[in-house]
Amino acid sequence: MAQIRVWVVDDDPDYCELISEVLSDDYQVTLFNDANSYRTALELETPELILMDINLPDVSGIELCQELMNSGKDVAVIFVSGMNTLEERLRAYEVSAVDFIAKPFELKELQAKVQAVASYQAKKQSLVQAESMSRNMAFQSMTESSQYGAVLQFFRQCFLCNDYQSLADAFFELMQQLNLSTCLEIRDMEVHYFAPQNAEISPIEANILELLDKHGRLYDFGSRTICNDKHVSFLIKNMPMDDEVLYGRLRDVIAVIVEGLEARVMDIGRQKTLEHVFKEIQGLLGNISGAIVEHDQKFSAALTGVTTEIRSSFHVLDMTEEQEDYFASLVERNLKEASSAGDAFYRLQGSLKTVRNVVESSVS
C-alpha cells in the first residue's frame, strides 16, 4: 500500500493535516487547499485515489470530478461532504465517484474506506497489467506465427528454384517480409553475390562476407549479423539489437533459413552435376553410335572382300570338294564369332542409354 498515491483536496488546512497524519503511514499523501493547485499538479501526475470535498470555495468538487472523468484518467474519487443528503449522493454517483463519506466521520471509517478503495485500485491496475501482458503475448505469438508461416512459404518456394538467381529472389522476398535488409553469398566452384532487385553488392559487403564466412553460424557486429553455412552466407544490415525479444526470435528464424538455403544450394549443385553427366553421356553415346556404324561398314566390307577372295581362289588351290567345304565352313564360323564381337558394342550402347535415361529422369 505504501506506493498508493492519495490526494486530499479540501480548503480546510486543519482537516487536510489531520487526514495526512492518519494516512501517511500507509500511503503517499499530497494535500491541495484549492482547485488551481490541484489542476496544475494533475497535468504532471495522476494519483490512484482522491479524497475531495464537494463544497470548495472556488469550484464545486462535482465539477472537478467531472473534469477528471472526461480526461480519461483512471482515478478513484471519494467525496467528503458535510451535506449528507440523497441529492448530494446522487450527484456524486453521476460523476462516477466510488464512495461518499459524510462529515463528521470516524477516522476508522475513513481508514477502512480508503483501504478498500486503494485495494480495489491496486487489483484493477494488476488486471490491466495482466491484460496488457496477455495482449502483448498474443500479439507476439501472432507475429511469430506470421514469421514462421513466411519461412514455410519460402521453403515451399525453394523447391521450385532450379538456379541460384531464383533462389536468391525467393530469399530476398522473405527478408522483406521480416523487415530485414540483406545481401547473399553462394559458394560452389566460384563465389556468387546477390542483392535485392538484381542490384550489385558493395565491395566492402563482399569483403565482409568473404572475411566472416568461417566465423560460426551467427556472428554479430554492431547492428549487423552474418549467418553462415558451408555453401551459403548472408549479411543482415539492420538487426534489431536494442529489442531483446525480437532479436532473439529473429536469430532463431534466420538459423532455420540458412539451413534451408544450404540444403537447396546443395540440391541445385547436384542437379547441375547430373546435367553435366547427362551431357557427357549424350556425347559418349553419339561417339559410340558413330564408331559402331563406321566399324560395321568397314567390317562388313572387309568380310565381303575376304569371303570373295577365298571362294575365288579355290580353283587355283586345286582343293577337293571336301576340303573346300571344310575351309568355307571354317571361315564362316570365324566370321560369325567376329560379328558377335560387334554385338558387344550394341550392348554397351544399350547400357549407356539406360544410364542416360536414369540421369535424364533425375535431372527433370
Question: Would you write out the chain's pLDDT as a tens digit for each of its 364 residues?
Answer: 457 899 999 988 888 899 899 998 888 999 999 888 999 999 899 898 999 998 888 888 889 999 988 888 888 899 888 887 888 888 888 888 888 888 888 888 888 888 888 888 777 777 666 665 655 554 455 455 566 778 888 888 888 888 999 999 999 999 888 888 999 999 988 999 999 988 888 888 888 888 887 888 888 888 889 999 999 999 999 888 888 888 888 888 888 889 989 999 988 888 777 777 767 777 776 776 676 667 666 766 766 766 676 666 656 666 666 766 676 676 666 666 655 555 666 666 666 667 666 656 654 5
Verify that 36 and 67 share a domain, yes or no. Answer: yes
DSSP-based three-state secondary structure for 193: strand
Closest CA to 31 of 5, 61, 54, 8: 8
pLDDT of residue 188: 87
Q: Which cell numbers in the block locate residue 64?
A: 472537478
Domain boundary among 132, 149, 177: 132
Q: How far apart are CA 75 and CA 80, in angstroms?
A: 16
Contacts of 120 (CB under 8 A, 6+ apart): 76, 98
Verify that 255 and 323 share a domain, yes or no. Answer: no
Q: How far apart are CA 356 and CA 285, in angstroms?
A: 9
Closest CA to 2 of 129, 113, 118: 118
pLDDT of residue 184: 94
184: enclosing H helix or E strand: strand 182-187
In this structure, the strands spanning 28-32 and 5-9 are parallel
pTM here? 0.48
Verify that 168 and 222 share a domain, yes or no. Answer: yes
Q: How far apart are CA 9 and CA 16, in angstroms?
A: 8
Q: Which cell numbers in the block locate residue 13?
A: 488546512
Verify that 17 and 120 share a domain, yes or no. Answer: yes
- Domain carrying residue 94: 5-132
* CA dist list (Å): 53 to 32, 34, 60, 104, 118: 11, 10, 8, 13, 18
Domains of the chain: total: 3
pLDDT of residue 186: 93
Domain boundary among 132, 153, 172: 132
One-letter amino acid for residue 359 of the chain? V
DSSP-based three-state secondary structure for 84: coil
Question: Does residue 325 lie in a domain region?
Answer: yes
pLDDT of residue 119: 83
Question: Does residue 145 lie in a domain region?
Answer: no
Verify that 299 and 216 share a domain, yes or no. Answer: no
CATH number, domain with residue 216: 3.30.450
Verify that 86 and 193 share a domain, yes or no. Answer: no
Q: Looking at residue 112, what DSSP letter applies?
A: H
> Residue 130 in contact with residue 227, Cβ under 8 Å?
no
Verify that 307 and 255 share a domain, yes or no. Answer: no
Verify that 127 and 48 share a domain, yes or no. Answer: yes
Q: Which cell numbers in the block locate residue 73?
A: 484518467
Helices (H), the chain: 13-23, 35-44, 61-71, 86-94, 107-158, 164-177, 203-212, 244-312, 314-317, 321-363
pLDDT of residue 346: 65
Question: Does residue 17 lie in a domain region?
Answer: yes
> Residue 99 in contact with residue 78, Cβ under 8 Å?
yes
Q: How far apart are CA 209 and CA 225, in angstroms?
A: 11
Q: Looking at residue 285, what DSSP letter applies?
A: H
Verify that 97 and 168 share a domain, yes or no. Answer: no
Question: Does residue 150 lie in a domain region?
Answer: no
Question: Does residue 300 lie in a domain region?
Answer: yes
Verify that 55 and 112 share a domain, yes or no. Answer: yes
> Residue 30 in contact with residue 16, Cβ under 8 Å?
no
Verify that 233 and 301 share a domain, yes or no. Answer: no
Domain boundary among 231, 263, 295: 263
Question: Does residue 97 lie in a domain region?
Answer: yes
Question: Does residue 221 lie in a domain region?
Answer: yes
CATH number, domain with residue 21: 3.40.50.2300
Question: Does residue 127 lie in a domain region?
Answer: yes
Verify that 63 and 105 share a domain, yes or no. Answer: yes
